[in-house]
Amino acid sequence: MDLGQKRRGVDMGPSALRYAGLEAAIKRLGHQVTDLGDIQVPNPESGQAAVGDKRTNAVAEVCTLIYQAGKQCVEDGTFGLFLGGDHSISIGSVKAAAHHAPQTLGVIWIDAHADFNTPQTSPSGNIHGMPVAVITGEGAAPLVNIGDGVAVPAKNFVQIGIRDVDSEEAKRVNASDLNVFTMREIDTVGMAQIAAQTLTLLEHCDRIHVSLDLDSLEPAEAPGVGTPVQGGLSYREAHLLAEILSECKKVRSLDVVEVNPILDERNKTAVLAVELIASMLGKKIL
């Protein structure tokens, strides 16, 4: 899906991830893989998903399909891996992970941005800057209402890698119960400590959904993203976080979003994403 922002290309992210050897990388770890294929998304150049309410309704329709597919994974006890697309897809995937017991789902949001805007605070109006607000119950009704309005408490969110927040959005973050580790905290105490604190914050949760936006990484490592921001996670910081989360055994679902092959360099960002997925699914150095 690329309807959550205005650039084309991020809709090709799943193809780039498949081309980078995703299925083989997961199978090498001993897991079985069933690729459910792509969810059909209206073309933004068609009138069907043009702008404004039409765009919001189109995103809501797609996220409802993601929610239904994801809910099936949860019910089957299967690990759900969701390939974006822009970050608005997480409205569907996180609501799916939450649907039967939202109070005990932890969400780890690895991102340069807080994605906590509402239509009232967003300078761009782009829905990919709003999913955390929607999932916690605030925003446009067609999005909030997906999954019978299931919402995850803000205190169950831990954000990691944050370094670019809009001014009105920052006020909302500071007034919320979101747990946020900005790059400053990561620089100060190191990723191992941040990962440990994250798991402590989510001790009351029996399962965790990880939402990985590739723009959390330093742009030199992940150039193929729509909204790159300097000063991001290093290659090893990202892998260390994935390795620690893998060991905690609570992670049951994962989004990998914002890979844009048009902006990428020889599919470098998709290759990195596949490596990080493998680390999250149990790949060890030794």
Residues that bind Mn ion (CB under 5 A): 87, 111, 115, 213
Whether the bond between 139 and the residue before it is cis, its omega within 30 degrees of 0, is no
Which CB sits closer to Mn ion, 26 or 82?
82
115 as an active site residue: the answer is yes
Q: Which of the residues 2, 11, 86, 111 is marked catalytic?
A: 111
87 as an active site residue: the answer is yes
Q: Which of the residues 99, 128, 209, 239 is marked catalytic?
A: 128
What minimum distance in Å lies between the beta carbon of 86 and Mn ion?
A: 8
Q: Which of the residues 2, 61, 86, 115 is marked catalytic?
A: 115
Which CB sits closer to Mn ion, 26 or 277?
277
What minimum distance in Å lies between the beta carbon of 114 and Mn ion?
A: 8
258 as an active site residue: the answer is yes
What minimum distance in Å lies between the beta carbon of 76 and Mn ion?
A: 27
What minimum distance in Å lies between the beta carbon of 70 and Mn ion?
A: 18
Which CB sits closer to Mn ion, 213 or 283?
213
Which CB sits closer to Mn ion, 25 or 226?
226
215 as an active site residue: the answer is yes
Residues identified as active-site? 87, 111, 113, 115, 128, 213, 215, 258
